[in-house]
A and B are shown apart, each in its own frame.
Chain A
Amino acid sequence: MGRYVIRRLLQMIPVFFGTTLLIFLMVNVMGDPIAGLCGDRQCDPATAAQLRTEFGLDKPVWQQYLTYMGNVFTGDFGTAFNGQKVTELMATAFPITIRLTLIAIVFEVVIGITLGVVTGLRRGRPVDTGVLILTLVVISVPTFVTGLLLQLLLGVEWGIIKPSVSPQAPVDELIVPGLVLASVSLAYVTRLTRTSIAENARADYVRTAVAKGLPRRRVVVRHLLRNSLIPVVTFIGTDVGALMGGAIVTERIFNIHGVGYQLYQGILRQNTQTVVGFVTVLVLVFLAANLIVDLLYAVLDPRIRYA
């Protein structure tokens, strides 16, 4: 187990450098960011040249990358064009997005798995059909429609929530955005759990457990559910990364100043430092989440062992 973890951690190093290099090159391909700083007029050449020197943009790309990575390892993610340290932006954005992601994951786990188990055990009954249709609707409606609709209904028409989240983004204000963010994944989790449960319900070990006379609750939770969770855990694990970086739409609709918003603004302003910095951290999150998922397999299914 320990050796497995170390091997996985070592594998992360090339992945980390590869992805950061890719994103660095991609941002660079977009062209010279200084030109966008002066609005519809031309920056005066002397100031533009000086700014390029200051941000290191006059050096070749490989050199910029090396300098950047060197700085990253000393904890310096650079400075955004508005003079704020990128680490400072991260310190405000990440806690908010992590909170939002956690709420979304809780919704996925609690509602998704519960609905999946219920429908999986009652295949073909009205409950099953009803939930299936519901998930189909949720999957086919784009997030921004759900978001704007809920915002309009709950926020403006009925006044149950505030349509926009305050900059501090406390947990209670993030519940509706979290639900919106989770909605599509939630539907997938329901469907995955349902299929998995339905399949395993006919497995030999379940029949054995029932034949042993175990209480139904124990059969479902300990034997059936635990074995059926592997695909669901895989899905949720990768979803953590996707939710954190991909909440751009939800964050914009509900005015959440999180990672998605900072990335969006960074791309609009072609702010290499912000974009590369945030993506680097997201890459780390993805890698960590994947590792945890793989380790969870062994916990859920004792037959899986890592050596």
Chain B
Amino acid sequence: MRGATHARWAACAVAVALAATACGGGDSGGGSGGADGIVSSSWGDPQNPLEPANTNEVQGGKVLDMVFRGLVRYDSKTGEAKNEIAEKIESQDSQNFTITIKDNWTFSNGEKVTAKSFVDAWNYGAALKNNQKNAYFFAYIDGYDQAHPETGKATADTLSGLEVVNDTTFKVKLSQKFSLWPDTLGYAAFVPLPKTFYSDHEAWLAKPVGNGPYTIDEYAKGSSMNLRRWDDYPGPDKAQNGGIDLKVYTDNNTAYTDLTAGNLDLVDDVPASQLKNVAGDLGDRYINTPAGIIQTLAFPFFVKAWDTPDAVKVRQGLSMAINRQQITDQIFQKTRTPASDWTSPVLGAEGGFKKGLCGSPCEYDKAQAKKLIDEGGGIPGGQLKISYNADTGSHKEWVDAVCNSINSVMGNNKACVGSPVGTFADFRNQVSTQKLTGAWRAGWQMDYPLIQNFLQPLYYTNAPSSDGKWSNEEFDALVNKANAETDKATAVSTFQDAEKVLAEQMPVIPLWYQNGSAGYSDRVENVALNVFSVPVYDQIKVK
């Protein structure tokens, strides 16, 4: 009988323990409502230190977007670049710019935002010795080659193209004509930095100080960040809530569960496995809007067999063999839209997005697809291998679906196979060192909402992200011409002409435009994602 007593005692212990937990749990979100209400939001650990020119992923980007404001800011709905700190940005020749800033801006520590705050920050970002991963943003500024040479030591610490005129004015000289350059200045790398950034770097990184609508109240690296509204914020876009609590989640499924349990107000990355439940769980508190991301299939042009006129037909045929609509509907639950050009819907028609620019090569046509591939001499090597990283992003599902689609067109179960690579880093390594001889999945998230950003860095000869090493004189010439245009509309339409070269040559196959998704609790309203699929935190209202 003794044993039984033990068992009963243990059962009681569990019951007591559970009850204790119940006392611990229960308080959700917390805080008062209204204008001072605090919004809790899911977060991921930023991959890099939170320096503006060193943050190239969305988790760190979220914070910078709340803590900093730059010369221009992209409209959260249209993505249009509008002056924020800049009073005016002028140029006669698309190469020499004079930037005048408003003089009422300060950092949250009281320091004034001057022309020098910008110039110093840009020099810091560009200098090779500072290891800033976004240094290439300053590549258009004259003197970048000396401050950040591709090989060897830097011969200058600062960019010769930057010149402070007075407290509110500075001049920028670019190394080439680039009429749309002012529109790139909304990116986080271009924000001004306070003096403490340089004088006490460690302390600054532990608790960044900026000039945005929020200040960082508490930052526990790797687990949470509490941001509070800055009441003396001089800008026009004051925060509509009392603050944002960012919480790091180990898994986006857990964050989603917390949202449905009422412990979290905002999840800006709804896991793919939950998309089926989202309507039932959240109803109309689910957002699914286009983001500036396009997914493509890239090809190796350093492999001779892919760099022939016949291979153009094969690539066009492969493109026509992919049933994009079916894959986006069934695998992605409409969180992707079939692509019919090489840009993104977030640019809008004025910005250069043109639905159907690709024409018939991007439309599903089984008969024509097979005909083109056969005319081109079949798939080089007899089999198409699509490489992808297997660790994140559930790429396996869609790669297999794309292959099934191609296989059914070819009537051959081995015409296309997926080729997984263990980790993202290894995958990127193989891509960037030209180790792959088949196709691979490629994605592009825009840096700024400009058609130029979807074309030049990817397809221009020897461009930094031209992994496939495609090269075409006609395309290069059109891009150069577009950059030199002073009129924005003409520039955009010239870029579109360059894009038509892509349709003829099909250096990469556009697959689909990615959407940003988010879900929120019934405590908050006025939630939206901007064109970078980051929540517009300052506009969120607490009921």
Chain A interfacial positions (CB closer than 8 Å to B): 30-47, 49-51, 54, 81-84, 88-89, 92, 110-111, 114-115, 117-118, 121-122, 151-152, 154-156, 159-164, 167, 170, 172-173, 175-176, 179, 216-217, 220, 251-257, 261, 264-265, 267-270
- Asked if residues A159 and B25 are in contact (CB atoms below 8 Å), the reply is yes
Q: Kindly state the separation between the CA atoms of A167 and B226 in the bound complex, as whole angstroms.
A: 13
Among the listed B3, B22, B426, B465, which residue makes an inter-chain contact with A118, where contact means beta carbons less than 8 Å apart?
B3
Sample (30) of A-B pairs whose CB atoms are under 8 Å apart? A37-B425, A38-B133, A40-B445, A41-B444, A45-B150, A45-B151, A47-B148, A49-B151, A50-B131, A81-B48, A110-B10, A110-B13, A114-B6, A121-B3, A151-B257, A152-B257, A156-B257, A156-B260, A162-B26, A162-B263, A163-B254, A164-B255, A167-B248, A172-B23, A173-B21, A173-B24, A173-B25, A175-B18, A255-B251, A255-B255
- Asked if residues A161 and B391 are in contact (CB atoms below 8 Å), the reply is no
Q: A115-B7, A160-B25, A162-B263 are in contact. Are A41 and B465 (CB under 8 A)?
A: yes
- List the 3 closest A-B pairs by CB distance, nearest first: A36-B425, A167-B223, A83-B49
Which residue of chain B has the shortest Cβ distance to A254 in the bound complex? B254
User: Does B132 belong to the interface (CB within 8 Å)?
Assistant: yes
Q: A43-B432, A82-B48 are in contact. List 19 more A-B contacts (CB 8 A).
A: A41-B444, A44-B136, A46-B148, A47-B128, A81-B48, A82-B46, A82-B221, A92-B222, A114-B10, A117-B6, A156-B261, A159-B25, A167-B224, A173-B21, A173-B25, A175-B20, A175-B21, A251-B250, A254-B254
Query: Contacts of B222 on A, CB cut-off 8 Å?
Result: 84, 89, 92, 257
Q: Kindly state the separation between the CA atoms of A45 and B128 in the bound complex, as whole angstroms.
A: 11
- Asked if residues B24 and A268 are in contact (CB atoms below 8 Å), the reply is no
- Asked if residues A269 and B425 are in contact (CB atoms below 8 Å), the reply is yes
Which residue of chain A has the shortest Cβ distance to B422 in the bound complex? A30
- Asked if residues A256 and B250 are in contact (CB atoms below 8 Å), the reply is yes
Query: Contacts of A43 on B, CB cut-off 8 Å?
Result: 133, 432
Which residue of chain A has the shortest Cβ distance to B56 in the bound complex? A39
Which residue of chain B has the shortest Cβ distance to A44 in the bound complex? B136
Query: Contacts of B251 on A, CB cut-off 8 Å?
Result: 252-253, 255
Q: Kindly state the separation between the CA atoms of A160 and B457 in the bound complex, as whole angstroms.
A: 52
Q: What distance in Å separates the Cβ of B41 from its nearest Cβ neighbour in chain A?
A: 14
Q: Kindly state the separation between the CA atoms of A254 and B251 in the bound complex, as whole angstroms.
A: 9
Which residue of chain B has the shortest Cβ distance to A261 in the bound complex? B250
- Asked if residues B10 and A111 are in contact (CB atoms below 8 Å), the reply is yes
Query: Contacts of B248 on A, CB cut-off 8 Å?
Result: 167, 257
User: Does B258 belong to the interface (CB within 8 Å)?
Assistant: yes
- Asked if residues A31 and B429 are in contact (CB atoms below 8 Å), the reply is yes
Number of B residues, CB within 8 Å of A: 76
Q: What distance in Å separates the Cβ of A86 from its nearest Cβ neighbour in chain B?
A: 12
- Chain B 419-446 per-residue mask, 1 if CB under 8 angstroms from chain A, else 0: 0001111111110110000000011110
- Asked if residues B428 and A162 are in contact (CB atoms below 8 Å), the reply is no
A-B contact count (CB 8 A): 208
* CB proximity to A under 8 Å, residues B1-39: 2-4, 6-7, 9-10, 13-14, 17-18, 20-26
Q: What distance in Å separates the Cβ of B364 from its nearest Cβ neighbour in chain A?
A: 26
Among the listed A38, A167, A217, A253, which residue makes an inter-chain contact with B56, where contact means beta carbons less than 8 Å apart?
A38
Q: Kindly state the separation between the CA atoms of A259 and B6 in the bound complex, as whole angstroms.
A: 33
- Asked if residues B18 and A163 are in contact (CB atoms below 8 Å), the reply is no
Chain B interfacial positions (CB closer than 8 Å to A): 2-4, 6-7, 9-10, 13-14, 17-18, 20-26, 45-49, 56-57, 128-129, 131-133, 135-136, 148-151, 205, 220-224, 247-251, 253-255, 257-258, 260-261, 263, 391-392, 422-430, 432-433, 442-445, 457, 464-465, 467
Q: A46-B151, A175-B18 are in contact. Are A83 and B425 (CB under 8 A)?
A: no
- Asked if residues B429 and A32 are in contact (CB atoms below 8 Å), the reply is yes
- Asked if residues B261 and A114 are in contact (CB atoms below 8 Å), the reply is no
**Which of A176, A179, A255, A270 is packed against the most chain B CB atoms within 10 Å?**
A255
Among the listed A33, A34, A83, A163, which residue makes an inter-chain contact with B261, where contact means beta carbons less than 8 Å apart?
A163
Query: Contacts of B133 on A, CB cut-off 8 Å?
Result: 37-38, 43, 47
Q: Kindly state the separation between the CA atoms of A43 and B56 in the bound complex, as whole angstroms.
A: 11
Q: A40-B442, A110-B10 are in contact. Are A46 and B223 (CB under 8 A)?
A: no
Query: Contacts of B223 on A, CB cut-off 8 Å?
Result: 92, 167, 257
Q: What distance in Å separates the Cβ of B136 from its nearest Cβ neighbour in chain A?
A: 5
- Asked if residues A54 and B131 are in contact (CB atoms below 8 Å), the reply is yes
Query: Contacts of B221 on A, CB cut-off 8 Å?
Result: 82, 84, 88
- Asked if residues B24 and A46 are in contact (CB atoms below 8 Å), the reply is no
Q: What distance in Å separates the Cβ of B34 from its nearest Cβ neighbour in chain A?
A: 25
Among the listed B20, B135, B254, which residue makes an inter-chain contact with A172, where contact means beta carbons less than 8 Å apart?
B20
Query: Contacts of B457 on A, CB cut-off 8 Å?
Result: 41
Query: Contacts of B128 on A, CB cut-off 8 Å?
Result: 46-47, 50
- Asked if residues B423 and A36 are in contact (CB atoms below 8 Å), the reply is yes
Q: A114-B7, A175-B21 are in contact. Are A47 and B135 (CB under 8 A)?
A: yes
- Asked if residues B45 and A82 are in contact (CB atoms below 8 Å), the reply is yes
- Asked if residues B22 and A35 are in contact (CB atoms below 8 Å), the reply is no
- Asked if residues B392 and A268 are in contact (CB atoms below 8 Å), the reply is yes
Query: Contacts of A162 on B, CB cut-off 8 Å?
Result: 24-26, 258, 261, 263
Which residue of chain B has the shortest Cβ distance to A160 in the bound complex? B22
Q: Kindly state the separation between the CA atoms of A50 and B247 in the bound complex, as whole angstroms.
A: 32
- Asked if residues A160 and B131 are in contact (CB atoms below 8 Å), the reply is no
Q: What distance in Å separates the Cβ of A146 from its nearest Cβ neighbour in chain B?
A: 15
Q: What distance in Å separates the Cβ of A58 from its nearest Cβ neighbour in chain B?
A: 14
Query: Contacts of A156 on B, CB cut-off 8 Å?
Result: 257, 260-261
- Asked if residues A160 and B467 are in contact (CB atoms below 8 Å), the reply is no
Q: What distance in Å separates the Cβ of A109 from its nearest Cβ neighbour in chain B?
A: 10
Among the listed A37, A41, A270, which residue makes an inter-chain contact with B464, where contact means beta carbons less than 8 Å apart?
A41
- Asked if residues B258 and A217 are in contact (CB atoms below 8 Å), the reply is no
Query: Contacts of A110 on B, CB cut-off 8 Å?
Result: 10, 13
Q: What distance in Å separates the Cβ of B438 from its nearest Cβ neighbour in chain A?
A: 18
Q: A117-B3, A118-B4, A255-B254 are in contact. Are A160 and B425 (CB under 8 A)?
A: no
Q: What distance in Å separates the Cβ of A122 from its nearest Cβ neighbour in chain B?
A: 8
Q: Kindly state the separation between the CA atoms of A110 and B16 in the bound complex, as whole angstroms.
A: 15
Query: Contacts of A172 on B, CB cut-off 8 Å?
Result: 17, 20-21, 23-24
Q: Kindly state the separation between the CA atoms of A30 and B425 in the bound complex, as whole angstroms.
A: 8
Q: Kindly state the separation between the CA atoms of A209 and B317 in the bound complex, as whole angstroms.
A: 86
- Asked if residues A155 and B18 are in contact (CB atoms below 8 Å), the reply is no
Query: Contacts of B148 on A, CB cut-off 8 Å?
Result: 44, 46-47
Q: Kindly state the separation between the CA atoms of A269 and B57 in the bound complex, as whole angstroms.
A: 13
Query: Contacts of B250 on A, CB cut-off 8 Å?
Result: 251-252, 255-257, 261, 264
- Asked if residues B22 and A161 are in contact (CB atoms below 8 Å), the reply is yes
Which residue of chain B has the shortest Cβ distance to A168 in the bound complex? B223
Q: Kindly state the separation between the CA atoms of A233 and B285 in the bound complex, as whole angstroms.
A: 52
- Asked if residues A155 and B24 are in contact (CB atoms below 8 Å), the reply is no
Q: What distance in Å separates the Cβ of A218 from its nearest Cβ neighbour in chain B?
A: 11
Q: A31-B426, A256-B250, A269-B47 are in contact. Are A42 and B432 (CB under 8 A)?
A: yes
- Asked if residues A44 and B24 are in contact (CB atoms below 8 Å), the reply is no
Query: Contacts of A261 on B, CB cut-off 8 Å?
Result: 250
- Asked if residues B254 and A253 are in contact (CB atoms below 8 Å), the reply is yes
Q: Kindly state the separation between the CA atoms of A122 and B220 in the bound complex, as whole angstroms.
A: 53
Which residue of chain A has the shortest Cβ distance to B1 in the bound complex? A216
Query: Contacts of A256 on B, CB cut-off 8 Å?
Result: 250
